[in-house]
Amino acid sequence: MSRHVRRRSITACALALLLGAAPRAHADDELELDWSGRIQSDLRFRLEPVGVGDWYARQELPAGVERNWNTLGLKLEANYGRFHAVAAVDFVWSGYPERMTSVGDLSRIEKAEPYRLEPRAVYVEAEGIFVKGLDLRIGQQVVSWGVGDQFNPTNNLNPDDLRDPLLFGRQVANFMVKADYWISEDWSISGVLVPIFKPAMLPLSGSLALAQLDRVPFVSGALGDRVVAEQAAAKMLFGHPTIIGSVTPVMPEPTFDNMQFAYRIAGTIGEHDVALSYYNGRTDFPQPRSNHTRQALGRRCNPDDANDCIEGLLLTDVNLEFPKMHVYGLNVTGEVNPFKWISEEINGIGYRFEGALVVPRGQSIRLTNDELAFGIPQPAGEYDYDADGQPGGREPLVVDDTPFMKWVLGLDYTFGEHVYVNAMWVHGLVDEFGAGDWIKEGYVVRQSGLIEGSNVLACALSKNGESCTQKILRPRLGDYVVLGADFKFANQAGLFRLFAILDATPLVEETWDDEQGKRVQRKISPLSAEGFSMVIFPELDYNFGNGLELAAGALLQLGKPYTKFGSAETGGSTVFTRAKYSF
């Protein structure tokens, strides 16, 4: 539905002045206002509970209703000659009452019926401003330069929005100044300035990742083994298990040095689109920068087992920061038709490549503690990283400065009017950061613990946990096979979609071998029962016409708890229904 108004107004003149051009009225100029919207209800169920931690620090997401969101989305567009403006906003009712802390909360509508406002876009733009061929856009916006289907390693200007896994690839708008200069009809140069950094938006299940302290974050495997052994000794010998106390993201200061910017040159060569880009900014996924451990005394016992007791807790307070990085991008997309010689009517095969060379700034972590009074007293201060008896030393790295690559290589094909198929090789997901793959060795710890029967006290006192610990490792950058197909039916009104993501990344089990007197590794195939991890996404959608769509489906996330998609922080498997009316 549209509303059109013909007039020269103060609003139009103000818009022109804001964009730095003198307001020029023409007899054929008119102000056009177009508005649209949608009403959408999402109901989702978690099939099984997912959680981490023992009874004294259990974090769990229950089975049952996972989401009950109702959204009113509105979008207004204004056009006046060569000027354009957009405002889009979502009003969201979460459907979940917030936690009540007093009877007075029962009188507060914002507690019983939580709601929020989510701006999607607020910007103004002008074509041919100052000089011919120069376009300018200022305001809250999303700049998407990537060509991959939902997987875009060169889209770094906007933070990722992972709150809804069904909308994977979505990004949050950010304030930007974007300029495009058209050299010719086919080639353009773009520049973007982002004054304020924004972090990625994480799902509610995201906090479960940091609660798993056995996933030690250090680049050095030897230091990780030592910390695992010391934590095990504190728990087993002195009754003080280690848990997460608090997690605090530390945002970059709004200084000139922390502004993000990017450049791109893009054009067409034959029937192929090509783009080169450069980004200077930060990863929007935080990395640990400091850990501070404090002690909470007090005996407590498991409500389900009176013999399972602890004497206190070691609480670790974590600060997170966002490492800086440079990203050099290459995008190529187009179509090839090897069957053209057979018939002109046979469709070509679409292809797309999106690659990013990431040059990160290394980030270390500082470990400190209060005075810890149990067994062997630990004085307050900084951790002895060098294990030489003297506190301090060089802070260990959680990310080194080795460059690494992410990419997406995809092919797609349409069979007639009813079937579309898509296949992709994805190297590195949005939350994976740092060098480590089949090109260069580098791992993250997915699970760690003690070897049964090991002398944990000796390992803790010697400050060497190599002979006491075992762990499951995963390359920092994974490889994924993405396969999908859309099947349309009922005169294009019905759609059945089936997509799957197979984690093709081999895991490594590392442990101590007494006979060899050293640590040994065993590869775990991604096709084995131990290493298998996969996402299966079936969806059935029907468009009834006049704006009404109904959909139902499932997001099945499979694998062991230490795998990519079987881990608790993914939120587990869900089924969903969706109703949407667009106007």
pLDDT digits (tens, 9 = 90+) for 318-334: 999 999 999 999 999 99
Tokens read off for 555: 């997001």
CB atoms within 10 A of CB 7: 10
State the maximum Cα–Cα separation within the chain, in Å, rounded to a whole number.
91
pLDDT digit string, tens, across residues 501-519: 999 999 999 999 999 999 9
Helix (H) or strand (E) holding 180: strand 174-182
- Greater confidence (99 vs 223) lies with 223
Confidence label for 14 from pLDDT (cuts 50, 70 and 90): very low
Contact 134, 128 (CB under 8 A): yes
Tell me what pLDDT residue 104 has.
Answer: 86
DSSP 418-484: TEEEEEEEEES-TT--SS-SSSS--EEEEEEEEPTT--HHHHHHHT--TTTEEEEEEESS-EEEEEE
Confidence label for 6 from pLDDT (cuts 50, 70 and 90): very low
Return all residues near 69 (Cβ < 8 A) that are at least 6 apart: 40, 41, 42, 92, 93, 94, 95
Helix (H) or strand (E) holding 221: helix 221-238
Mean pLDDT on 240-261: 96
Q: How far apart are CA 149 and CA 332, in angstroms?
A: 13
pLDDT digit string, tens, across residues 457-478: 899 888 999 999 999 999 999 9
CB atoms within 10 A of CB 206: 16
Q: Is 48 exposed, middle or buried (0-12, 13-18, 19+ CB in 10 A)?
A: exposed
Q: Which residue ranges make up each domain of the chain?
A: 1-42+71-130, 436-583
Mean pLDDT of the chain: 92
Return all residues near 9 (Cβ < 8 A) that are at least 6 apart: 31
C-alpha neighbours within 13 Å on the C-beta side of residue 270: 6
List helix spans (H) across 242-311. Answer: none
pLDDT digit string, tens, across residues 166-184: 998 999 999 999 999 999 9
Return all residues near 514 (Cβ < 8 A) that are at least 6 apart: none
Q: How far apart are CA 436 and CA 8, in angstroms?
A: 59
What is the amino acid identity at position 505? T
Return all residues near 515 (Cβ < 8 A) that are at least 6 apart: none
Helix (H) or strand (E) holding 576: strand 574-582
